Structures are given as C-alpha cells and as structure tokens.
Structure 1
Amino acid sequence: MGAAAEGPGQGPIARAPETWLTPGVTGIGGASLLADAGHEIPTALLPSLLTSTLGAPASVLGLIEGVSDGLAGLARLGGGALADDPQRRRAIAVGGYTTTAVLSAATAGATAAWQVAILRAGAWTARGLRVPARNALLADIAPPSTYGRAYGLERAMDNLGAVIGPLLAIVLVGAVGVRWAIGLSIIPGLLAALSIVYAIRHTVQPRVRVREPIRVRIRPVLRGRLGGVMAGISIFELGNCAATLLILRATDLLGAGRDAETAAQLAIGLYVAYNIAATLASIPAGRHGDRRGATRTLAMGVAFFAVAYALFAVGASTVLGLAPAFVAAGVAIGMVETAEHAAVATLAPETLRGSSFGLLSAVQSGGNLAASAITGILYGLVSPAWAFGALAATMVVSFAVLVATGRPD
C-alpha cells in the first residue's frame, strides 16, 4: 500500500512507498537511545550525590533542577534560530550531544553543590540547543512521506533510553559507587555524539546558501496550517503534566492498606509500564501518521490522554485498576510526541525548520511547566480528582482544535 503524507493546506496525499529505515534515520535513533540512557544515569543519582554525598538540602536539588529546566527551555527556542541553517544545525547537533555528555559526567567530580549547579545548568542548556537541530536534521534525512515512522523510531529509542538509564544506574552504583557511576555515563553520551556523526555522513550535503542573520522567528512560522496545529499543541501542552504527578496519584491511591515503601514501588512499576507503552506505540503511531496525516494521529493521542486523565480522576485503588490509566497515558505520549514532530516537519517551511522545531520545543517546555504547577496546586488545595478532571477537560479542548485543523481545506 502506498504511504501518505500531509501537505500544507491539504489532507493526506497518496505517494509511492519509500525506504525510511536508512542509515541516517538509524543513526539519529541510536543517538536518542544512547543519549537518554546516558543522561538518565546522573539524573537518577543526582539526589543521592547532592544530599548524601555533598550534604545539601532537598531544596537545593529543586532549585538546581528548576533553573536547569528553565535554561533548557530558553535554549531550545534559541537553538531553533541557529538550526535554520542546514550546515550550522549539523555542528550544533554534534556539539550539543558532546557537551551534554561531558558536563553531565563531570558532576561526578563536584565537591560542592554550586559546582553541580553550574555543570547541570550547562549540560541542560547544551541539551536544549541540540533538540531543534536534531529534529531538523531528521527532516533533512527522511523522505517526507515517511516522517511519521522516522520520528516514531526516534521517540521510541528516546523512551527506551529512559527505561535503560535508571536500570544502568542501579547496576553501576552497586558495582562502582555513585561518583564512578555518574562518571561512566560519559560513555553512552559520547557514543550518542558518534551516532549523530554517523547519521550526518549518510546524509546528502545541504545546498550552500547565503547565511541570514540569526534571529528568533515566530510569526512566519505560525502562518498557514502550522499556526492552527501549533494552537492545538499549545492547548495540549497546558494539560501535559509531569509524569511524576501520575506516580504521586498512584502512590496515594495504593497507600491504603500498604506501607509507604510498598506503595511507592508499585507506583514506579506502573511508571515502567507507562514508558514501555510509549516505546511500543511510537512507531505504529508514525506509520498511522504517514498514511492518515500527522494531525489526525496527534488528535488521537490527545484523545487517549483525555481517557487516561479521566481514569486518574476516578482513581482506582488497585494495581490492576490503575494499569489501564498508565498504559493509556503511555500510548498517548508515544503518539503525541511522534505526531507533533512529524506535523512540524511536514508543515514548516524548509528555510524555517529550525525555528519551527525551536518554537515547538519552547511550547512543550513552557506548557509542561505550567501544567505541572497548576495541577500540583489543584491537587493539594482542591482534590486530586479535580486536578485530573481539569487536565481531561483541557485534552477535550485540544482535541476539538486539532480535529478542526486537520480537516482538508
């Protein structure tokens, strides 16, 4: 069967089948797997390093993570402007992966909390800069009719890395201790940079063109159908809270009749199921997007989130009762992240791909921060049921906007 792609201002367009699992696409997928596994090791061990080893209070951990996430969000927007140039985006991708690996691993040698703060902030800034460059590079590599599957593979590998990284952290801590475990995270991080180099070597060289001044361009990105899709994405991200709130909800619900440690372990097990579901859903979601259009796939993912949040609002108190909510949320994030990237790659002007992915990343970061903050406030001041009910309602609004946007003109 012929694949289909979604063209600007029109519905799915029938096209001949094209090979999508190329060395370049595989290289970027490998980079996402290795990089995520690499930086998840220091992320998982950062609380122990700060509080147990360096004696810092928990508030310092929160401050470091908050500042680092904020810098990463700003870097994604700026990185998008830098990545508009095809030649520059290659250098930024390689440099971003390398710098993230080196600075993250360097926290192993920190002797004070302020040193951890500087290294973490630098690593997350480099990580933010590389994201639009990597996404734009993948659009350069993959045929347009296979964007869904290409971005689906990248998302699947990223989610798989999020499963492997913490498991590696557990093994390494038992074998060599916290500091050495963090230091050894440089190995998968640098392998990720090499994987990006491998992808670039299997990509057609970009046409040489006169470089324009570097500037953040938002208004040109929002013209046409991409503006409507971005509106639906923005509403979705305002309801896309951190997965830690899902774990908190499960821990509270499972705490009845169980000790706190057992409830926490069961909740983490459900979170692993969430990540596995996200990994397994990504490539099928991309294949559906290639055939039916990325915007439609995005709307389906948002609908899955509405169902998941409704289940969290109702609040079952057993593992089997909560499992459908976590699996639905995992399938949803696998579909949505894949479709978001494929939609932007399809609808963005080629000369503004970097800015388009930079804006997407900024919307994701800002929306996640707002969603998590608002949900946390409602969770504590009103009730968990109201908090997740509000998230489900936000998903319904986003779904309506995306369905309207996804209709052929």
Structure 2
Amino acid sequence: MSEPRDTGTGPDERWITPGVVSIGAASFFSDSGHEIATSVMPAFLTSVLGGSAAALGVIEGISDALTGVTKVVGGPLANDPARRRSLATGGYIVTAVATAAIGLATAVWQVGVLRAFAWAARGIRSPARDSLLGSLANPNAYGKSFGIERAGDNLGAVVGPLLAAGLVAWVGIRPAIWFAFIPGILAAVAIIVAAREAKRRLGDQTKERVRLNIAGLRSAGLGRPLLPILLFECGNLATTMLILRSTDQLTALGFASAASLAILFYAGHNAIAAAISFIGGVWLDRAGPRIVFAAGAAAYVLGYAAFSVPGVGWALLLLGFILAGAGIGLAETAESALVARALPDRVRGTGFGVLGGVQAIGNIVGTVVAGILYTTLSPTAAFIYAAAWMLLSFAASAFFTNPSSERTP
C-alpha cells in the first residue's frame, strides 16, 4: 500500500512506488503498440491500399502537427487533478483503439483520419500523464521518476518494431496492426492504476479553472529554459533521417542488407536512450537538470558529426546512433524534470503542454529544413545544420535553470 505523500520529502521516503512504475509501464506498452502500427503502416499504405509515399508523408506530417497542438490544449486541462486522471486514462484508451483500427481501413483517407485521431489523443494525454507523474513522484527524485517514464517509452520503441517484424511474418500486414490493440490496452490499465494511486494519495482537490496561465509560468521562471529547449528541438531530427543516412552510406552491402542494418542501429539507438534516460535521471537528482541537458546537446553534436562524414563505415554510423540515443535520453529527461521541479501542481499541466508545443514546433522546423538540405545540397549539409542548432543549445544551456528549479515545489 502506497504511503501518503509527504511534501517535506525526507531522505528515507520511497521514490519507486506503484504509481511511478505504472506510468513507466504505460509508456512502455503504449509505445510498443503504436510502434507496431508505425513500423507496418508504410507497407500497408503502399502495398495493401495502393497509396503513395507522398500520402504517407502528408498523413504523418498532419498527425505530428496535431500532437503538438493537442499537447498545448491539453496542458491547461491537466491542471485540474480529477480531469488529468480522466484525460490520461481516456487518451490511452482512444490511442489504442484508433491505432489498431488502422488495420481495418480500406482506403488511404481512412488511415489518415484514424492516425490523426490516435495522435491527437496521444498529444492531449501527454501533459495529463506527466502532471500525474509529477504529483506522484518524490520531488527529491523527479529525475529518476521521469527517467523511468522515458526509459519505458524508449524500450517500447525497441520492442514494437521487433514485434511488428515477427507479426508480419506470422499473420501478415493487416492483422499485425490489429495486434497493436493488446499493448495499447495494457497501457490503459497501467495508467488507471496510477490514476487510482493519485486519487488515494491526493484526494479530490479543488477544481482548477481551465486557463493557459502563461503569467504563472513566467513567474516560476520557466520562460528562460524554453530558449535552449527550442534550440535543441530545432536540431532534434526525426530518427528516419538517421536511418536514411545509414542506408545510403551502406548501399555497398546491397539495399536489403543496408536497410536491415540501419533498422538494427535504430533499435540500438532506442535501447541506449532507454538506459541513459534512467542514468541521466539519477545524475539529475544529484547535479540538477542543467548539466544533464547540456550533456545531451553535446552528445548530439558529436553524433551528428559522425553522420556528416561522407563514405564512412558501419562502425562510425553505429557510434552516431549511440550518441544520438544518449542525447535524447539525457535531454528529454532533463526537460520533463525541469518542468516538474519548477512549477506547482496547479499550473504543471500548462507547463507540460507548453513544453510539448515547443518540442513539436522545433521538431517540425528542424526536420523539414534538414530534409530540404539533404535533398538539394548534401546529407553533410543537413547534419551540419542540425549540429549547429545543438551547439547553440549547448551554449544556451546556462539558461536551463530558474529560481525554482533548484528547490522542490
């Protein structure tokens, strides 16, 4: 039975509780489920439904944009403790159902609608989940707690594609997508466990008015850290760019071998991110979020340098994936823990929503420009461009703190 929350958080207070573990499990199962669908969807859209690569790009672009928008919208809604529990639970259920339903689609537009619906639910649940974790975690161990959540998410990105490969070989492309429902529902069950613990520990608090409350974020000092975060996210390229670069560099092995090796590197990237998320969380609780974030940006600079070198072998490409995995594991954990530490519970949902919006804007800008540079100039130019953003983020990491970030809320 979980202990009542002690806002004094003495050194003997447990940080690993059923609620924290359940949220990590929810991220693991949910990511495993939608990675099954994501891995299979290109083949399903083009081979089964006769769609085009352009249609796939439009669907993914619109869905990613919706995720960013709904994170901003969901932030103020998650400020209310009762509403955040409902949003988190409902968001995971809708994501599971809509993702698995893609396997029932008979036309490309249906895939687009279902993917957008699933990604919108995924976006609106994120601030609620992170606020839920912030309310359950020991404030002296935010780093480890958010490291557990990030580790679960990244481990799901390892397991999901591997499950997809086995399912396609066993049952075929369309039925493989249906199986995404199973881990998706397990994620919903896990978040329900966390929501019940939050209700038991915190009770039914006064209902918060729905408002963006940017002034509250500024007064807590969250404005300054958004600069290095935005710079970082502008350099945080979609991992498909890394896979494409590796496939191009390894074509001497034959296209099939090059593609398979690149996917294995991607799985390794996610495994490293999972391990480093927790290690970075432990480091964060001891040293603060600024140094962990700066280390993440520095790892990306080195990783992109490896990808920018033309004609390299598999070893340097693998090193690039490892460094990028370490970079995302450190930086994402630092970003989430910073918001949790800086903000009181009544505006924490807004903080996570704004963080999600900044991440989405940066990711879209960075990947679109890098893709244009990759095509029109050279892959080297694209990765130098991304590395420059990361270098700026590293330099701006001095702003990755605020008066509230070194104390517990």
Report the TM range for the smaller structure's normalisation.
over 0.9
Map of 1:371 onto structure 2: 366
**Cα pair 1:18 1:145 within 8 Å, conserved:** no
**Cα pair 2:307 2:383 within 8 Å, conserved:** yes
Map of 2:23 onto structure 1: 28
1:158-178 Cα deviation digits (max 9, x unpaired): 101011111111222222222
Q: What does 1:177-188 correspond to in 2, within 5 Å?
A: 177-188=172-183
Map of 1:11 onto structure 2: none
Map of 2:50 onto structure 1: 55
Q: What does 1:135-174 correspond to in 2, within 5 Å?
A: 135-174=130-169
Question: Higher mean Cα deviation, 361-370 or 215-224?
Answer: 215-224
1:187-235 Cα deviation digits (max 9, x unpaired): 11111101011112223134521431x2333343233432111111011
Distance 1:103 1:332, change over 3 A: same
Question: Aligned letter for 2:205?
Answer: V
Distance 1:328 1:218, change over 3 A: same
**Cα pair 1:229 1:295 within 8 Å, conserved:** no
Map of 2:233 onto structure 1: 237
Map of 2:6 onto structure 1: none
Q: What does 1:190-209 correspond to in 2, within 5 Å?
A: 190-203=185-198, 204-209=201-206
Partner Cα separation in structure 2 for residue 398 and residue 243 of structure 1: 19
**Cα pair 2:304 2:387 within 8 Å, conserved:** yes
**Cα pair 1:218 1:359 within 8 Å, conserved:** no
Question: Higher mean Cα deviation, 389-398 or 123-132?
Answer: 389-398
SS for the counterpart of 1:228 is coil
Map of 1:228 onto structure 2: 224
Give how far 1:57 is off: 2.2
Runs of 4+ aligned residues of structure 1 deviating over 6 Å after TM superposition are none
Question: Aligned letter for 2:196?
Answer: R
Map of 1:115 onto structure 2: 110
Partner Cα separation in structure 2 for residue 48 and residue 240 of structure 1: 26
1:217-268 Cα deviation digits (max 9, x unpaired): 334323343211111101111111111111122222222x332222222222
**Cα pair 1:100 1:126 within 8 Å, conserved:** yes
1:275 aligns with 2:270: yes
Q: Cα RMSD over matched residues? A: 1.9
Distance 1:23 1:188, change over 3 A: same
User: 46, 60, 64: which is aligned to 2:41?
Assistant: 46
**Cα pair 2:68 2:360 within 8 Å, conserved:** yes
Map of 2:71 onto structure 1: 76
**Cα pair 1:316 1:322 within 8 Å, conserved:** no
Partner Cα separation in structure 1 for residue 325 and residue 246 of structure 2: 15
Question: Aligned letter for 1:310?
Answer: A
**Cα pair 1:225 1:405 within 8 Å, conserved:** no
**Cα pair 2:306 2:316 within 8 Å, conserved:** no
Question: Higher mean Cα deviation, 187-196 or 388-397?
Answer: 388-397
Map of 1:349 onto structure 2: 344
1:381 aligns with 2:342: no
Distance 1:177 1:218, change over 3 A: same
**Cα pair 2:151 2:277 within 8 Å, conserved:** yes
Give how far 1:405 is off: 4.1
Partner Cα separation in structure 1 for residue 221 and residue 162 of structure 2: 42
Partner Cα separation in structure 2 for residue 143 and residue 179 of structure 1: 43
Which structure 1 residue ranges, 5 or more long, are not aligned?
A: 1-13
**Cα pair 1:313 1:384 within 8 Å, conserved:** yes
Give how far 1:15 is off: 6.5
What TM-score results when the alignment is normalised by the length of structure 2? 0.92
**Cα pair 2:80 2:207 within 8 Å, conserved:** no
User: 127, 136, 152: which is aligned to 2:122?
Assistant: 127
1:349-376 Cα deviation digits (max 9, x unpaired): 3211001000111111111110001111
Matched residues, number: 395
